[in-house]
Amino acid sequence: MPTLVPDLVYRAGAFHPGLAVEVDAATGRITRLAPAAEVEAAAVTRLRDVALLPGFVNAHSHAFQRLIRGRTQWRPADDSASDFWSWREAMYHAALGMSPDDVYSVSRFCFLEMLRAGITTVGEFHYLHNDPAGRPYDDRAELARRVIAAARDVGIRISLLNVCYTTGAIGEALRHEQRRFGTPDVAEFVETAATLADDMDRDPLVTVGIAPHSVRAVPRDVIRALHDWSTRRRLPFHMHVSEQPAEVEACLAAYGRRPVEMLHDDGTLDERFTGIHATHITDDEVRMLARSGATVCACPTTERDLGDGILRAVDLVRAGGRIALGTDSQTVIDPLEDMRLVEYHERLQRLERVVITRAAVADRREPAPLLLDMATSVGARSLRLDAGALEGGMLADMVGVDLTHHTLAGWTPGTLASMITLSAPSDVISDVWVGGRHVVQDRQHAQQEEAMRGFIEVARALAGTA
């Protein structure tokens, strides 16, 4: 592919003019960043009025949940509670009706929507395993393969996080509505995950990880065993953690420890560990997560929708912790919105402005560079990928921001990062490259209409049963 020369390149926390990005089409990686003046004009694609940034990494997604967008925004007539637990019942209903083809169609459209919002990698926390009756498919990884095919077809990079799910709550059998999620035979689950990892070994767009669903769905000894296994294979290890107070209480009652404390005691928190949500953690747990090198994946648009609570992002950052971002339930697919909510939720909570900052640059402390790291390099680290930065040797996953967009009018090199992260809609993203492939061009993806038709068909069928 030709060398790209945009107006600005985002690198090491700031925008720089005059840089060319050279990409090796064969490896899908950036060869080097060079002064634009040194690059031969014939081999160059000039990106006018474009700022190039690393592509966004969505570290936590359940693609099939795109199907229930809009379907849970109501409360029963008797005014009984609408919360995470009542939302979960609607999610179960959607999950139960989907055929493997439906899973493909919904995932494909969801991934396409992500690409258009600038997401170049998705960490897909995949827990739909069985057929609608709860029986395993002949190929235990049937639905995982459909999700991977959907990602590959639209050209998004995917880390398929195989989810282990064995109990309905701590010490309780799976409920009937959870029958599609169950992986009761842990040895078989591990074997399926290993086969999938081996099969995908040479696919440049696909990697695999392991994910005990939560302390609710996986017993303590199994979490430990899965962690040992993932350590031997050096795979990312993801898990929902402390999303709801009831989950913390159940963990305390069963194990005498809060979820993060328990994982800390068991040696599970480490550089490969990513805890999703962590919206209910103590000061001690903040320190445990930060010191262990673990990542916390915030999903602020989902946490806002579900009334989960607010991440203690300021405390985590001050303790040296790492925060990645995820779209989770797909209520909103907009990494810019997720970035800014981490900061804005804390402002509302603390009655203060400009709170998530680290080192000062030129007498200023700004949140924008940290928020961009969350959406790029920290997410890539959580999924063990060489992505999230525009540097030689890194995967050529990039987004182009349209500098002529009306919401960016008046930008300067000094204000652009703040405008993008704290004010702009995702519509400012006009172009997206994954592994050097130009998959979104001028806000269009080649499969847009066809993928949307496929999705609408599945959504209409679900409406008939809701």
Q: Is 176 a catalytic residue?
A: no
Q: Is 405 a catalytic residue?
A: no
Which residue, 374, 384, 388, is CA-closest to 343? 374
For the chain, report the end-to-end CA distance as a whole number of angstroms. 48
Q: Which is nearer to Zn ion, 303 or 328 (CB)?
A: 328
The stretch near Zn ion (CB under 5 A) out of 222-230, 322-330, 392-400, 425-433 is: 322-330
Q: How far apart are CA 397 and CA 156, in angstroms?
A: 10
Q: Which of 60, 227, 238, 277 is catalytic?
A: 277
* Nearest distance in Å: CB 62, Zn ion: 6
* Cβ pair 55, 397 in contact under 8 A: yes
* Nearest distance in Å: CB 111, Zn ion: 16
Does the footprint of Zn ion cover residue 285 (CB under 5 A)? no
**Quick one: angle between helices 186-199 and 220-233, nearest 10?**
20
Identify the H or E element spanning 458: helix 448-465
Q: How far apart are CA 299 and CA 275, in angstroms?
A: 11
Residue nearest to Zn ion (CB): 328
* Nearest distance in Å: CB 299, Zn ion: 7
Q: Which is nearer to Zn ion, 328 or 402 (CB)?
A: 328
* Nearest distance in Å: CB 125, Zn ion: 6
Does the footprint of Zn ion cover residue 338 (CB under 5 A)? no
The token pair at 257 is 């420890």
One-letter amino acid of 184: P
Does the footprint of Zn ion cover residue 308 (CB under 5 A)? no
**Number of residues this chain uses to bind Zn ion (CB under 5 A):** 1
102, 328, 366, 402: residue in contact with Zn ion (rule CB under 5 A): 328
Q: How far apart are CA 71 and CA 74, in angstroms?
A: 8
The token pair at 123 is 């960490």
The stretch near Zn ion (CB under 5 A) out of 39-47, 50-58, 323-331, 346-354 is: 323-331
The stretch near Zn ion (CB under 5 A) out of 172-180, 205-213, 223-231, 321-329 is: 321-329
How many other CB atoms sit within 10 Å of the CB of residue 246? 14
One-letter amino acid of 76: P
Q: Which is nearer to Zn ion, 328 or 346 (CB)?
A: 328
Question: What residues act catalytically?
Answer: 277, 328
Residues that bind Zn ion (CB under 5 A): 328
